Structure 1
Amino acid sequence: AVVHIELVPGDHVEITVAAKGGGSENKSKFAMLNPSDSIRDWVVNTVPLMGAGWCPPGMLGIGIGGTAEKAMILAKEALMEPIDMAELKARGPKSPIEEMRIELFDAVNDLGIGAQGLGGLSTILDVKILDTPTHAASKPVAMIPNCAATRHAHFTLTGNGPAYLEPPRLEDWPQVNWTPDKASIPVNLDTLTPADVASWKPGDRLLLNGKMLTGRDAAHKRMTEMLARGETLPVDFTNRVIYYVGPVDPVRDEVVGPAGPTTATRMDKFTEVMLAQTGLIAMIGKAERGPMGIEAIKRHKAAYLMAVGGAAYLVAKAIKAARVVAFEDLGMEAIYEFDVKDMPVTVAVDSEGTSVHQTGPADWKARIAAARTQQPA
């Protein structure tokens, strides 16, 4: 754990615990602006650089002032605040910080990045800002996103025994009975061919059935090193699909624990080797692919499929069997073989190299701008 302690007057202890995923934490940004620079401009120009690996829609925590490390801590602390943007807009701002929150909220959503980075009206649900005095020559600004899966707990210890957190009442949530969309395309992974992959179009929704392999950073690093030495891989990837995931250990009667996709851009540097030398024809992850990954996908007529980030438990419901097939010593980073049924994914990069993470937000940004110009003054 990373622990921050603040000593204050009183006779009790307030504790906040945050379990933060790498997809959002890795998108943290910091800048030492000049005192005259615009924080708004920096935020609006920086958010698109974060891609979609932080699983929007989420929150932005912004820390202003202090020193470099103080600004980062403020940004992280800001993320622990409750979402109240609707209430703030309804009553109106009462301070310059609240004015900035509203301004940034509207400006970021006007970017059209949308849920999972596929384009839309809701990129962020709230902006939280904490500030503190700083040197007159400096303006440290930090920005940290929180993904759609906001995992934090708050409790107080008074010395009168343990604190008990009341579990959420499931009946407070709407009943959701997911069934595959009729427009979805069923895919048999066990008979998949390069011709099948070439037929997929950007934005197609697929339902995957059959056996897939898994692997992420450590497995890819080991495989590319083996291939460089001329060694044979322990798994045959010919006409197979790989899922970028490190599954959590199962408990009780689970086949596998939460098994959500990891950020695909981290595998971009391995993509050319994997597609060129293993027979792999498709990959599954979350968020966008970078230029290097897209170029490799286009060159080898492969495809990249996007699973929903921030929903690891729900994704795991599609996994009906799981077994380790290679690199068992890597633990959760080992190569598994999953047997899946109706696992929903979206074609995010097709065999021609078209990325919906580029076309979707660009389309929505233009539509939002057009709608803004048509509004009466």
Structure 2
Amino acid sequence: MTVIKEEDLIESVADALQYISYYHPMDYIRALGDAYDAEQGPAAKDAIAQILTNSRMCAEGHRPICQDTGIVNVFVRWGMSCRLDTTRALQDIVDDGVRKAYNDPDNKLRASILADPAFTRRNTRDNTPSVLSVEMVPGNTIEIDVAAKGGGSENKSKFKMMNPSDNIVDWVLEQIPSMGAGWCPPGMLGIGIGGTAEHCMKLAKLSLMDPIDMAQLKQRGPQTDIEKLRIEIFDAVNATGVGAQGLGGLSTVLDVKIQDAPCHAAGKPVGMIPNCAATRHAHFTLDGSGPAYLEPPKLDDYPQVTWQPDSAAKRVDLDALTPEEVASWKHGDRLLLSGKMLTGRDAAHKRIHDMLEAGEELPVDFKGRAIYYVGPVDPVMGEVVGPAGPTTATRMDKFTEMMLDLGLLAMIGKAERGQDAVEVISRFKVAYLMATGGAAYLVSRAIKGAKVIAFEELGMEAIYEFEVENMPVTVAVDAHGNNVHTLAPKEWSRKIAAGEVEPAE
């Protein structure tokens, strides 16, 4: 009988969560490096360069790849010849590991988990509880996979109870437009087929733990129907031309993973969950000899890609921003922002709405300003701010007209805007700018000053004033309503279909 000590499990979970916060899986880095070499879209290539540069910076500095450090998923395969030396529930012990990791003073991670989700939505402050799944199997060891799943990609999960004759490839392609770029491509698609509604979604998430091997699979050729389906979906999704960050290009997905299970004759449940550019997962084994510690990757194995600001990028002084300058920007333009900007996301926008409805005076003047949709990680070791990448902009769509009425000239976030928000942006003759998701530490290096100026009690959702220097963004929606997330994928899809460019391999 193998005896697993409670403290060894806690320490191992905590170590793994810290590890994945700043180390990408090397299979992802290698695949992304290949995608960078092959990419022909300038905007997409620039975005991939930012992600790769950010990844290496995080590996060197031991700081989070993304400010959204995720909801923790833990998959346990418990060998039945193992005994846990404790009187507590396994959930409580695993959550102690999560708590220890997320409150590590040397690399504090963002607490994003809210209790009472339908009503008060109170932050638990330590990112617990985790989502725990346990399978009892023969053996005398414990195999554990941990993953930290960001909200931007998790929110794009899809499910359908298909009829047996329905085509899975067609369904996946129907979902891609509605997923937009909020899941921060290029990443992976995990697909579960069969079982029941909840089981196929679990299969989809489990499949994302598998290593990226699409290049090797294509080289040797498929040997099963599942492998054929993986390749078919991979090629079809990349042919859409969505590209990195939705900017149009060759690589939308780096791999497609599929797990299946038997299901009822009357149906064919299918679930799909994307993994983003901040894909985070790791595996370890406990055998009773002590905690498991993961070996760091070799920095020499990273692609030699270093992002530098585009020499053609327009430099913008936010402290002297005018409607005329904003109106001169064109969709796809790359900008380098310097000066002072405000921040605000879901909770702050809701608070502003409620204050306006109540006739209360706002604590911040938004006239002539830019706002950045962000919830940063707490700073450590003398940092001005922790990793501070953008959050998904569509969640602020319903507040857009309200905020533009207050005089905003520009909004900065991640991925596309909804059509209603694009219409409002065009009507007010302002702009929406896109920062690269999955490059949070790189972005934070552009932030030279940060202070909370309103709603401090909201924690990471408070309104800050950032002072930035050469913060890189792309004009996603210009003052005339031209939308790069609509126009660029359409053009790249046409190029791929016409054979003007080689599709992703």
How does the TM-score come out when normalised to structure 1? 0.97
Match of 2:297 in 1: 168
- My pick for the range that moved more, 174-183 or 205-214, is 174-183
Q: What code does the residue aligned with 2:482 have? A: T
Q: What code does the residue aligned with 2:179 have? A: M
Q: Which of residues 476, 499, 503 is equivalent to 1:348?
A: 476
Is 1:193 matched with 2:322?
yes
Which residues of 2 match residues 261-272 of structure 1 at below 5 A?
A: 261-272=390-401
Match of 2:435 in 1: 307
Match of 2:231 in 1: 102
CA displacement, residues 234-253 of structure 1 (integer Å, 9 cap, x when unaligned):
01111000000000100112
CA displacement, residues 67-92 of structure 1 (integer Å, 9 cap, x when unaligned):
00000000000011100000000111
CA displacement, residues 154-188 of structure 1 (integer Å, 9 cap, x when unaligned):
11111101111112222322444433211000000
Match of 1:366 in 2: 494
Distance in 2 (CA, whole Å) between partners of 1:20 and 1:191 is 39
Work out whether residues 15 and 155 of structure 1, in 8 Å CA contact, stay in contact via their aligned partners in 2: yes
Moved over 3 A (4+): 174-178, 372-375
Q: Which of residues 117, 127, 143 is equivalent to 2:256?
A: 127
Match of 1:288 in 2: 416
Match of 2:66 in 1: none
Distance in 2 (CA, whole Å) between partners of 1:34 and 1:261 is 38
Distance in 2 (CA, whole Å) between partners of 1:261 and 1:143 is 24
Is 1:203 matched with 2:332?
yes
Is 1:227 matched with 2:356?
yes
Distance in 2 (CA, whole Å) between partners of 1:212 and 1:220 is 16
Q: What code does the residue aligned with 1:4 have? A: S
CA displacement, residues 90-140 of structure 1 (integer Å, 9 cap, x when unaligned):
111110000100111101101111100011111000000000000000100
Work out whether residues 55 and 115 of structure 1, in 8 Å CA contact, stay in contact via their aligned partners in 2: yes
Q: Which of residues 448, 463, 484 is equivalent to 1:335?
A: 463
| 1:372 Cα deviation after fit | 8.1
Work out whether residues 192 and 239 of structure 1, in 8 Å CA contact, stay in contact via their aligned partners in 2: yes
Match of 1:40 in 2: 169
Q: Tell me the secondary structure at the aligned position of residue 6 of structure 1.
A: strand
Distance in 1 (CA, whole Å) between partners of 2:312 and 2:345 is 30
Work out whether residues 205 and 345 of structure 1, in 8 Å CA contact, stay in contact via their aligned partners in 2: yes
- My pick for the range that moved more, 1-10 or 170-179, is 170-179
Distance in 2 (CA, whole Å) between partners of 1:45 and 1:153 is 31
Aligned length: 374
Q: Which of residues 193, 202, 211 is equivalent to 1:82?
A: 211
Match of 1:279 in 2: 407
User: Structure 1's 212 and 50: CA in aligned 2 closer, same or farther, altered over 3 A?
Assistant: same
Work out whether residues 180 and 246 of structure 2, in 8 Å CA contact, stay in contact via their aligned partners in 1: yes
Match of 2:447 in 1: 319
Distance in 2 (CA, whole Å) between partners of 1:291 and 1:13 is 49
Work out whether residues 191 and 259 of structure 2, in 8 Å CA contact, stay in contact via their aligned partners in 1: yes
Work out whether residues 496 and 502 of structure 2, in 8 Å CA contact, stay in contact via their aligned partners in 1: no
Unaligned regions of 5+ residues in structure 2, if any?
1-129
How does the TM-score come out when normalised to structure 2? 0.73
Q: What code does the residue aligned with 2:479 have? A: S
Distance in 2 (CA, whole Å) between partners of 1:327 and 1:16 is 37
Match of 1:29 in 2: 158
Q: Tell me the secondary structure at the aligned position of residue 45 of structure 1.
A: helix
Identity of aligned residues (%): 71
| 1:62 Cα deviation after fit | 0.1
CA displacement, residues 36-78 of structure 1 (integer Å, 9 cap, x when unaligned):
1111111111122111000001000000000000000000000
Distance in 2 (CA, whole Å) between partners of 1:63 and 1:324 is 43
Distance in 1 (CA, whole Å) between partners of 2:241 and 2:213 is 21
Work out whether residues 224 and 274 of structure 1, in 8 Å CA contact, stay in contact via their aligned partners in 2: no
Is 1:92 matched with 2:221?
yes
Match of 1:247 in 2: 376
User: Structure 1's 141 and 177: CA in aligned 2 closer, same or farther, altered over 3 A?
Assistant: closer
Q: Tell me the secondary structure at the aligned position of residue 5 of structure 1.
A: strand
Q: Tell me the secondary structure at the aligned position of residue 494 of structure 2.
A: helix
Q: What code does the residue aligned with 1:286 have? A: K
Distance in 2 (CA, whole Å) between partners of 1:301 and 1:232 is 26
Match of 1:50 in 2: 179
Distance in 1 (CA, whole Å) between partners of 2:216 and 2:324 is 52
